Copies of this chain bind each other. A is one copy, B any other.
Amino acid sequence: MPDRLGPPLTTPVFDRLALIGMGLIGSSLARVARQKNLARHIVAIDASEEVCARVSELKLADTVTSNIAEGVRDADCVILCVPVGACGSVAEAMQASLKPGAIISDVGSVKGSIVAQVAPFIPEGVHFVPAHPVAGTEQSGPDAGFPTLFLNRWCILTPPEGQDAEAIAKTRAFWEGAGSMVEEMSPAHHDLVLAITSHLPHLIAYNIVGTAADLEAVTQSEVIKFSAGGFRDFTRIAASDPTMWRDVFLNNKDAVLEMLGRFTEDLSSLQRAIRYGDGEALFNHFTRTRAIRRSIIEIGQDSAAPDFGRQPKNSAQ
């Protein structure tokens, strides 16, 4: 599996690319689009003047504006990189300015709700190809982005049935240019898959960090000092952007509640095994979970280094 971005494309995928929302994802897309020549002209759009100023300073785009209608004009592709809950109003704001034949895409972590919010604002002759790059870090804002964020990560497309094949192919080419592998599925299936692989893990990480913060018998300073026993792993994803994650849970309610119900059932069964001292049940459960980690490492979706490679065996000696 390649660990570097390849050479720039000879011909850009898009002539004019507009990115709306210049946080971690939007600013990483701007960086990789520039580095890999995925677009000839990059327009960065952000509602915050402060973010626009920082994007200009970082020279992430050819044009920077806070005006959506103006920014998307003449764009061949517009990618919404805003929290899931903001997609409807952004789509409404850009509707009148879209170029015929343009591709509208997004990077939202929920797909059913985004399709419902955005599709009504897509004019006849404009193509909507929703996308979700399964990539990210716990950091936010234009400074947090980097061009290899999508390298070797999956990007899931959920195009509506009958969507223009060329629009899908171009969206696919764009993400492949950014270093990703691309897969297509329905919005409903996407939301179920992500509920278990991303949304539920974030929910329980946020939850345990909250539980730890509220204890009386154990101080917060003890929780922090002795966090290397496992707890600190959870604090990383519980440090993710609160607005983004509020919107994910509000917009993927059914799938999250379904997965949470199963998680709680299973946890009750482990709890019972602890209460009744059933060592065999615990041992069997703890044994079968190892195989999944091995598979994740084998397909290159995580580091094989112990402790995520936090503590390099050699360099620290």
Residue ranges of A at the interface with B (Cβ–Cβ < 8 Å):
3-5, 35, 85, 109, 134-139, 144, 146-149, 151, 153-154, 156, 183, 189, 192-194, 196-215, 217-218, 220, 222-240, 242-243, 245-247, 249-250, 253, 256-257, 259-260, 262-264, 266-267, 270-271, 273-275, 277, 279, 282-283, 285-290, 292-296, 299, 301-303, 306-311, 313, 316-317
Chain B residues lying within 8 Å of A310, measured Cβ to Cβ, are: 302-303, 308-309
Given contacts A235-B296, A264-B264, 20 further A-B contacts (CB under 8 A): A85-B279, A144-B306, A154-B226, A196-B223, A199-B230, A202-B230, A206-B286, A207-B267, A211-B259, A228-B302, A235-B289, A235-B302, A239-B294, A240-B286, A245-B282, A246-B286, A247-B279, A253-B275, A309-B309, A309-B310
Whether the pair A288, B235 counts as a contact (CB closer than 8 A) is no
* Closest residue of B by beta carbon distance from A156: B226
Across the interface, A230 reaches (CB within 8 A) one of B213, B237, B247, namely B237
Across the interface, A263 reaches (CB within 8 A) one of B146, B154, B207, B223, namely B207
Q: A21 to B149, alpha carbons, bound, how many Å?
A: 42
Whether the pair A224, B295 counts as a contact (CB closer than 8 A) is yes
Chain B residues lying within 8 Å of A295, measured Cβ to Cβ, are: 220, 224
Q: A225 to B270, alpha carbons, bound, how many Å?
A: 26
Q: Could you name 17 residue pairs across A and B whose Cβ atoms are closer than 8 Å?
A: A109-B229, A138-B293, A139-B306, A151-B311, A156-B226, A192-B218, A196-B211, A198-B229, A201-B208, A209-B289, A209-B293, A239-B294, A242-B283, A250-B282, A260-B274, A308-B309, A309-B310
Across the interface, A228 reaches (CB within 8 A) one of B183, B227, B301, namely B301
Across the interface, A212 reaches (CB within 8 A) one of B85, B197, B210, B225, namely B197
Whether the pair B227, A316 counts as a contact (CB closer than 8 A) is no
Whether the pair B201, A293 counts as a contact (CB closer than 8 A) is no
Whether the pair A289, B239 counts as a contact (CB closer than 8 A) is yes
Chain B residues lying within 8 Å of A212, measured Cβ to Cβ, are: 196-197, 292
Given contacts A109-B229, A302-B227, contact A192 B211 (CB under 8 A): no
Whether the pair B197, A227 counts as a contact (CB closer than 8 A) is yes
* Closest residue of B by beta carbon distance from A274: B249
Given contacts A223-B197, A263-B207, contact A306 B218 (CB under 8 A): no
